[in-house]
A = this chain, B = another copy of it.
Amino acid sequence: MTETVTPEAAVRSVALRAREASYELALATRAAKDAALHAMAEALLARATEVIAANAEDVARAESGGTPASLPANLVDRLRLTDDRLAGMAQGLRDVAALPDPVGEVVRGSTLANGLELRQVRVPFGVVGMIYEARPNVTADAAGLCLKSGNAALLRGSSSARSSNAAIAAVLRDAVASTGLPADAVQLVPGDGHDSVRALMRARGLVDVLIPRGGAGLIRSVVEESTVPVIETGVGNVHVYVDAAADLDKALAIVLNAKTSRTSVCNSAESLLVHAAVAGEFLPRVVKALQAESVTIHGDDTFGVYEGVLPATDEDWATEYLALDIAAAVVPDLDAAIAHIRRWSSGHTEAIVTEDLTAARRFTAAVDSAAVMVNASTRFTDGGEFGFGAEIGISTQKLHARGPMGLPELTSTKYVVTGDGHVR
């Protein structure tokens, strides 16, 4: 006899267990949570053979083209776990243990005129759902960040990493339980298909927040379908604007760094805008330097006179290449740069290069993105660079969290009001 459990019932069951666990986690001391994080790190190393064996199944499936269909070599590489990568995951968990506990922080407080004592205190969300793609290391990262912030984690990785994720979750659950916290602090969402993802997205009331991490398609589908509140992360159509008053040496260094230091990340530059007043001097230098780094330039008419520059279409202005490509245009003035950015940006990061304080003030005030850089590479939009110690993702939405998210962004608050029989 076959049991028939619908995806909704399966998700409901793990979510209710997560809720129960979340009650204990919310009350856990920092010491208890840090002990669990260290136990998780040690267990990953102690049971490395088991995890790597499970990972080998995923890699073999990915290479042989089973179910799902075979993956390209770079994705197989991202999927593969080694002793080094496991050591990195363990170190990540220890790093999270070393960070301050966001829970219990008093965000604001006062004594009201009537003597009531008001405190706004950070508290965990409760149950956090994460939906993510290929890399199995996210399973440990997300579990650690959620646990430290007092949240129970419901994790849904990609089906290509299902054996790795199951092994990692089993190791982490045992480790958490060994320290006296509930194993259900870490759970995988059961099921492989989109049905179970959909059930997770519709579990409003059972899951407090969903954080998708992955490509634009994944994030769009979660945002469209989810009734659970979502924190949107990571799509970056990022611009660098070189102002009339730019130091062109700084501008060249920033453009090259923003475009070429790492192309596959959301904070790398995808479009270059240059003020007409410096185009004559800057364009030959920047075109040459970018082409020397094998960057393909998709340019407007002014850029188009240089050899090798392809004509840009509206699609280029809109595209997050995540590759050695850049869209490039000359603009008549600062406001035209701002207008271009308003039209095409995804609101992640934009930079101005200028020595003119008035221009910098106008750009930083008028450009409505999660991060606005002045004379700095867009690559600095990063939780590590910002000093947050850990990053769950980079929010490109305006509600709740915007920009790199650290542990405090995985919490809510509540008001605690203390009186002595006060009535209105």
Q: CB within 8 Å of B: which residues of A? A: 23, 26-27, 110, 112-113, 116, 118, 120, 123, 125-126, 204, 208-209, 223-224, 227, 229-231, 247, 249-250, 253-254, 256-258, 261, 342, 360, 364-366, 368-377, 379-381, 385-387, 397-400, 402-404, 412-424
Count this chain's copies in the assembly: 2
From known contacts A421-B247, A423-B257, infer whether A126 and B373 are also in contact, taking CB-CB under 8 Å.
no
From known contacts A253-B423, A422-B380, infer whether A118 and B398 are also in contact, taking CB-CB under 8 Å.
no
Contacts of A257 in B (CB 8 A): 423-424
A398 touches B368 (CB 8 A): no
What 5 A-B pairs have minimum CB-CB distances, sorted nearest first?
A: A376-B419, A250-B421, A257-B423, A398-B412, A400-B400
* 15 additional contacts (CB under 8 A) given A208-B399, A399-B399: A112-B385, A113-B387, A125-B399, A368-B414, A370-B414, A370-B415, A371-B416, A375-B421, A379-B423, A380-B417, A380-B422, A380-B424, A399-B400, A403-B414, A403-B415
B254, B375, B386, B420: which contacts A375 (Cβ < 8 A)?
Answer: B420
CB distance from A326 to the nearest CB of B (A): 16
Contacts of A366 in B (CB 8 A): 23, 26-27
Q: List 13 A-B contacts (CB under 8 A).
A: A27-B365, A112-B385, A229-B397, A250-B420, A253-B421, A254-B422, A256-B423, A371-B415, A373-B417, A373-B419, A375-B420, A386-B415, A402-B414
Contacts of A230 in B (CB 8 A): 229
Contacts of A424 in B (CB 8 A): 257, 261, 377, 379-380, 385
Contacts of A400 in B (CB 8 A): 399-400
From known contacts A126-B368, A209-B399, A229-B397, infer whether A374 and B418 are also in contact, taking CB-CB under 8 Å.
yes
A365 to B227, CA, bound (A): 28
A415 to B44, CA, bound (A): 36
B26 touches A417 (CB 8 A): no
Contacts of A253 in B (CB 8 A): 421, 423
Output the nearest chain B residue to A375 by Cβ-Cβ distance: B419
Contacts of A110 in B (CB 8 A): 387
A397 to B258, CA, bound (A): 38
Contacts of A380 in B (CB 8 A): 116, 417, 419, 422, 424
CB distance from A379 to the nearest CB of B (A): 5
CB distance from A396 to the nearest CB of B (A): 11
Output the nearest chain B residue to A370 by Cβ-Cβ distance: B414
Output the nearest chain B residue to A421 by Cβ-Cβ distance: B250
A424 to B261, CA, bound (A): 8
Output the nearest chain B residue to A224 by Cβ-Cβ distance: B227
B123, B247, B375, B415: which contacts A422 (Cβ < 8 A)?
Answer: B375
Contacts of A126 in B (CB 8 A): 368, 398
